[in-house]
Amino acid sequence: MKVRKCKVLVIGAGPGGYVAAIRSGQLGMDTVIVEGEKAGGTCLIRGCIPSKAMIHAAHKFHDLAKHAKEGGHMGISIPGPAELEMAALKGWKDDIVNRLNKGVEQLLKKSGAELITGWAEFKDAKTVVVGEIQIEAEYVILANGSVPIELPFMKYGDGVISSREALDIDEKLEHLVVVGGGYIGLELGIVHRMLGSEVTIVEAMDSVLPIFDKELRRPLELFLKKNKVKVNTGVFAKGVEKLDNGKLKLNYIDKNHADDDSKMQSVEADRVLVTVGRRPRSEGLAPTGVALNERGFVKVNDQCQTNMKGVYAIGDLTDLGEMLAHVASFQGEMVAEIIAGHNRVYDPVAVPAIVFTEPEIVSVGLSPDEAKEAGHPVIVGKFPLAANGRSLTQEAEKTGGFVRVVAREDDHRLLGVQAVGTHVSELVGEWTLALEMGALLEDIAGTIHAHPTMTEMTHEAVLATLGHAIHIA
């Protein structure tokens, strides 16, 4: 067996792993990165990027459908209904993914990191076997990522799919049933509704997206209702049956009558998409000796160090609680620099969270309720998309969205910003930077924001918090 010794070994080439490997290579450390599938990981290959491509395509198709209506839309009309070829749409999405995959591979190569394709089997904390190669490292960065949670009574296969398979559907569905009303299920559900499929959501909680407050959820709930997405909340999925006509029947029951089978309800579907969360891909780590918590996440400190000297873990695998690609990338860069001798810790003031539904929902920092619970004296200001010129020119105001600013009443320190509406995800960079820099309301109020842009809503929401917004009465 060939033996490859290295300074840094990275397991997993997702958004955390490949960034860690690139930065390690840039810092002059002999680096090997092992990936079982394609470089880019869940986010690039089967998550964030392909789903956003599908969302964009769904919006295009939905807009064309408007133009095909009698009288057209915005003065634009087309002679007949828009046609959808799902196989071609999938091919377009796959081209984007392949292009980015090749880009990651080139970046790894340019940095000096060696990419080895195959599944790593640990012999001990710093030794793995990949095919016929044994890799021995001084430092190991675990970036194994996460996988969709599978319900024990509803195994994947035969029409029951995870988000991974949902992004590879090459035919238009008559009816998609989504189990789970979180961000993944809603994003993909709305995509298929915009592409013309009937969509039903089945959610055990009393609302979709329960992590957000009612005010933020309201525009999304109105969109779902207006676009005839059927939403069943407070119900438990109980199992799937295969019907003679090839369809699936999902059985579900109100959680208040969960023990009464006579209350069972059902819905037929072409596919049942299960999106009830993700779990860490921590199986196979036993030989490393790294400590896991009761849910299988790797325990780490504020430098992403595990209990094993020289072994780090980043991203979805860790118990830090934020399963987000941008968090994994940040931690990957940080750990590479720690290994190189830099003084770094993971202690962000705020981490942005985005749901790419229609309308989009964005949150960074504290919500009003969270700020009050933390003991802050709170003031809040809001500005609607309907009062912003750029939003109107993009029809972004139609969903009833807004930007909301949360600050301390006494010293005007910014505590959080939330928004809901079309295109609002692109505004979050300014908010996150302001929070990290400890900005006051006056800092943002005194900053000239370009016109006409949607960033003006941040300025106006801050002015509203101060009590003197210009463009709303």
Q: Mind listing the pLDDT tens digit for each residue in 171-181?
A: 999 999 999 99
Distances (CA, A) of 409 to 367, 374, 379: 14, 14, 5
Q: What is the mean pLDDT of the chain?
A: 95
Q: Indicate if the pLDDT at residue 398 is higher than 90.
A: no
pLDDT bracket for residue 71 (50, 70, 90): confident
Q: Indicate if the pLDDT at residue 321 is higher than 90.
A: no
Q: Count of alpha carbons within 13 Å of 242, Cβ hemisphere only? A: 7
Angle formed by the axes of helices 48-68 and 86-111, nearest 10°: 150
Distances (CA, A) of 201 to 54, 179, 223, 255, 418: 19, 6, 14, 15, 25
The residue whose two tokens read 């299988």 is: 296
Q: Indicate if the pLDDT at residue 260 is higher than 80.
A: yes
pTM of the entire predicted model: 0.94
Closest by CA position to 209, among listed 237, 189, 239, 238: 189
Please tell me the CATH superfamily of domain 2-147+279-339, with its number: FAD/NAD(P)-binding domain (3.50.50.60)
Residues 165 and 167: their CA atoms lie apart, in Å, by: 5
pLDDT bracket for residue 74 (50, 70, 90): confident
Residues 322 and 328: their CA atoms lie apart, in Å, by: 9
Q: Which CATH architecture has domain 160-276?
A: 3-Layer(bba) Sandwich (3.50)
Residue 80's pLDDT is what? 80
Which is it for strands 402-408 and 146-148: parallel, antiparallel or unpaired?
unpaired
Indicate where the chain has its CATH 3.30.390.30 domain(s): 353-466
Q: If you ran DSSP here, which 8-state letter would residue 76 be given?
A: B
Four-point Cα dihedral 395, 177, 172, 190, nearest 10: 10
Residue 65's pLDDT is what? 82
Residue 69's pLDDT is what? 72
* Structure tokens given for 117: 């394709």
pLDDT bracket for residue 199 (50, 70, 90): very high
Annotated active-site residue 451? The verdict is yes
Cα 342 to its chain centre, rounded Å, is 30
Q: Indicate if the pLDDT at residue 318 is higher than 90.
A: yes
Which is it for strands 230-233 and 198-203: parallel, antiparallel or unpaired?
parallel
3-class state of residue 100 by DSSP: helix
* Encoded amino acid at 62, one letter: H
3-class state of residue 92 by DSSP: helix
**In this structure, what are the phi and psi dihedrals at residue 236, rounded to the nearest 5 degrees?**
-105, 130
* Structure tokens given for 277: 């969360």
Residue 397's pLDDT is what? 87
Catalytic residue among 56, 59, 423, 451: 451
Q: Indicate if the pLDDT at residue 68 is higher than 80.
A: no
Encode pLDDT of 269-308 as tens digits: 999 999 999 999 999 999 999 999 999 999 999 999 999 9
- Residue 3 CB-density burial (10 A; 0-12 exposed, 13-18 middle, 19+ buried): exposed
Indicate where the chain has its CATH 3.50.50.60 domain(s): 2-147+279-339, 160-276
pLDDT bracket for residue 258 (50, 70, 90): confident
Looking at 286-427, list the stretches that DSSP marks H as alpha helix, in order from N- to C-terminal side: 325-339, 368-373, 389-393
Q: What share of the chain in percent tops pLDDT 90? A: 91
Average pLDDT score over residue span 149-178: 95
Q: Hey, which CATH number is domain 353-466, 3.20.20.70, 3.40.190.10, 3.30.390.30, 3.40.980.10?
A: 3.30.390.30
